[in-house]
């Protein structure tokens, strides 16, 4: 066999190996001051061999990511100050809206880039008007941290129909996670399949109709109070994201 044929077969073999290699997602994880679930989220995607990296809140331009994630935590300490050293109020997500990276997030949303908000990230997306509803202080007026049982419904998490009506144990940790909407708004979200996650058996925060997660009408932006990156069932949520993006 001459050298030309050897090179030809080598290239063919190399292409075959590359085709068999698993695809990976390019994930941008938005970090705000006081984000504290950023590394949990980073490790969650890295565990499934995806290329995840942090994006600092002062960035105004994003790399060509496949997915943006706003992780849990307490962006800017959940505090809003009238003066730098004065009195403050607790209003999770509000201060993050002034970060330069929000301009890039709005632009990404307009281009239908998939976006996921977890806990505080959900609060920020709601405050930004990218997801419907309002998130208020827990009905108990106390911070709640424990495992909850949740059921997948509506159009499902990242539209993965194989997850519909399955239940998962997912932890929550929040003080302002009570999702609130009017009856009319609830009926509209239900009709559109935008409510993809509900608490089952017990409601840790008093949210309307046990709502734990919603999407936008287009089904490109998803937000939830529970932490799928912390559950042992994380592979189901990851597979849903992969199928959504890979097509």
Give pLDDT tens digits for 66-102: 999 999 999 988 888 777 777 887 888 899 999 999 9
How confident is the model at residue 2, as a pLDDT? 61
119 is catalytic: yes
Among the listed residues 37, 119, 150, 174, the single catalytic one is 119
Nearest Cα neighbor of 50 from 226, 246, 189 is: 246
Among the listed residues 37, 151, 174, 227, the single catalytic one is 227
229 is catalytic: yes
* Apex 53 CA angle, 49 and 160, nearest 5: 55
Q: What is the pTM of this model?
A: 0.89
Give the CATH number of the domain where residue 150 resides: 3.40.50.880
Q: Is 181 left (phi over 0), alpha (psi -120 to 50) or beta?
A: beta
Among the listed residues 150, 151, 229, 242, the single catalytic one is 229
CB contact at 8 A, 134 and 188? no
Domain span holding position 70: 3-246
11 — pLDDT class (breaks 50, 70, 90): low
CB contact at 8 A, 128 and 116? no
Q: Residue 31: which H helix or E strand, with range?
A: strand 26-31
The residue with tokens 């073999």 is 13
How confident is the model at residue 78, as a pLDDT? 83
How confident is the model at residue 247, as a pLDDT? 82
Please count the structural domains in the chain. Answer: 1
pLDDT at 3 over 80: no
pLDDT at 14 over 70: no
Range 68-105 burial, b when 16+ CB lie within 10 A, else e = bbbbbbbbbebbeeeeeeeebeeebbbbbeebebbebb
pLDDT tens for 192-231 read: 999 999 999 999 999 999 999 999 999 999 999 999 999 9
Bridge partners (DSSP) of residue 170 are 148
């Amino acid at each position: 066999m001459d050298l030309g044929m050897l090179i030809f077969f080598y290239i063919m073999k190399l292409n075959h190996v590359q085709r068999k290699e698993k695809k990976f997602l390019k994930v941008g994880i938005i970090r705000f001051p006081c984000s504290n679930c950023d590394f949990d989220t980073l490790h969650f995607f890295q565990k499934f061999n995806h290329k995840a990296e942090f994006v600092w809140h002062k960035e105004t331009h994003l790399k060509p990511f496949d997915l943006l994630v706003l992780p849990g935590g307490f962006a800017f300490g959940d505090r809003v100050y009238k003066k730098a050293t004065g009195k403050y109020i607790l209003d999770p997500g509000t201060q993050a809206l002034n970060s330069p990276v929000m301009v890039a997030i709005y632009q990404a949303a307009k281009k239908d880039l998939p976006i996921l908000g977890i806990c505080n990230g959900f609060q920020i997306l709601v405050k930004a008007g990218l997801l419907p509803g309002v998130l208020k202080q827990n009905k108990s007026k106390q911070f709640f941290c424990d495992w909850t049982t949740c059921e997948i419904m509506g159009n499902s998490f990242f539209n993965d129909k194989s997850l519909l009506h399955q239940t998962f144990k997912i932890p929550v940790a929040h003080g302002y996670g009570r999702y609130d909407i009017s009856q009319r708004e609830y009926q509209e979200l239900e009709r559109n399949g935008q409510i993809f996650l509900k608490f089952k058996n017990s409601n840790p925060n008093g949210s309307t109709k046990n709502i734990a997660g919603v999407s936008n009408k287009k089904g490109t932006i998803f937000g939830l109070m529970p932490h799928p990156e912390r559950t042992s069932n994380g592979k189901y949520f990851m597979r849903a994201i992969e199928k959504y993006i890979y097509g």
